[in-house]
Amino acid sequence: METTGKSRCVLILCFALVYREGFPSRVIPVAGPDPFKGKAIVGAPRPGEKVFNVMQFGAKPDGKADNFQAFVAAWKATCSSREPARFLIPQGTFKVGPVPFAGPCQNQAPIIFEIIGTVKASTDPSEYTNGEWFLFESVNNIKIIGSGTFDGQGASVWKYNDCHTNSDCAQMPCSIKVNRATNVLLHGFTSLNAMGFHIFITNSVV
Name the strands in the sheet holding 140-145, side by side, starting at the edge strand that comes first in the sequence.
Answer: 50-53, 85-89, 111-115, 140-145, 182-187
Give the integer Cα–Cα distance in Å for 29 and 112. Answer: 28
- Give the pLDDT of residue 28: 38
Give the integer Cα–Cα distance in Å for 5 and 24. Answer: 31
- Give the pLDDT of residue 170: 81
| 3-class DSSP assignment, residue 48 | coil
Give the integer Cα–Cα distance in Å for 158 and 152. Answer: 11
Query: Which domains are delineated in the chain?
Result: 28-202 (2.160.20.10)
Strands (E) across 7-98 are located at 50-53, 62-66, 85-89, 93-96
Q: Which residues make Cβ contacts (< 8 Å) with residue 114, sequence separation at least 6?
A: 42, 86, 87, 88, 89, 145, 146
> CB–CB of 121/153 below 8 Å?
yes
Give the integer Cα–Cα distance in Å for 129 and 83. Answer: 34
Distances in Å between the Cα of 139 and the Cα atoms of 143, 166, 171 are: 10, 35, 25
> CB–CB of 149/192 below 8 Å?
yes
> CB–CB of 86/54 below 8 Å?
no
What pTM did the predictor assign? 0.79
Distances in Å between the Cα of 126 and the Cα atoms of 82, 120, 161, 171, 178 are: 36, 16, 13, 13, 21
One digit per residue, pLDDT tens: the chain, 206 residues?
A: 444 444 333 333 333 333 334 434 444 334 345 444 544 445 567 889 999 999 999 999 999 999 999 999 999 999 999 999 999 999 999 999 999 999 999 988 899 999 999 999 999 989 999 999 999 999 999 999 999 999 999 999 898 888 888 888 888 999 999 999 999 999 999 999 999 999 999 999 87
